[in-house]
Every structure is written in structure tokens, then in C-alpha cells.
Amino acid sequence: MEQTYAMIKPDGVQRGLIGEIISRIERKGLRIVAMRMYRITDDVARRHYAEHTEKVFFGSLIDFITSSPVVSMIVEGENAVSVMRTMSGATNPNDAAFGTIRGDFGLDVGRNIVHTADSLESAKREIAIHFTDADVVEYTKAEEAWVYE
């Protein structure tokens, strides 16, 4: 099973969307194997968004992501990276399809509710920033026989 990193950003937390987002992940058939709510420090935010350091929006991105609690998760399942990306929708909510998290709840690219890793390599890097191996709880859901062949 593939693992990916997903985060409910400060706007999603403040708007009371935690339960809705987690429910969508679980209803899809994915498994959450680690989860924590916390306030990201400046150092962690800078490591997480390191690829954007030289971009004009970097400072405001760091200010935003550290402004309020987030919910970080390790999500597991077949093709978890691409499934979570599809469920999240386009980065710009105005381009996101209805039925996706961003398409249903977002209006602004700077407040787009969730972050999901864009590749397996990014997922591994982001998981290592936010979690330790001890945080992961391995288990099998009884319904998986009805999700996977």
C-alpha cells in the first residue's frame, strides 16, 4: 500500500471542515495511519515549503501556514498519492471540479483548504518532516475486502 501526506490547512481548521475532509478520505476507502493537530513552527513550515523559497509568495505562505492549527495525516491505500490529489482538486479552487474538496469549499488559491503531496517522493519527504515512525499505527480495516480485489 502506498502512503501519502495530507494536511488540512489553517483555513480548513478554522472553517470547521476537519470532520468533512476526514469523512471523505475514509468514505473513499483510504486508511489514516497517523494524524495530529498542531501549530506548525516557522522552521517546519520552511522545510515543508522549501521548493518555494525563491517565489514571491513564500513569506505570506509561511505566515499563513503558521497562523493557526493544522491537521496532518499519513493516508494509506492503493495509489494514495494520486487519489488524494484527485479528491483535493486543482490548486486554484476556481479551477477545481465540484465534488472535490477545493471545488466544494474553496474560493481563493491562497486559502485552498488542503495540501496533498504531489508525488511519492514528495510524500516521503513531507511525512518525514511531520511524523516519526513511532507515530504510524498499522492496521487493517475490515471493509478493505470490499474496497480492493
- Residues with catalytic roles: 115
Asked if 96 and 106 count as a contact pair (C-beta separation under 8 A), the reply is yes
> Which one, of 147, 19, 125, 11, lies nearest residue 74 by Cα?
125
CA distances from 113 to 65, 100, 137, 148 (A): 11, 11, 25, 29
> Which one, of 104, 70, 105, 101, lies nearest residue 86 by Cα?
101
CA distances from 85 to 35, 39, 59 (A): 18, 23, 25
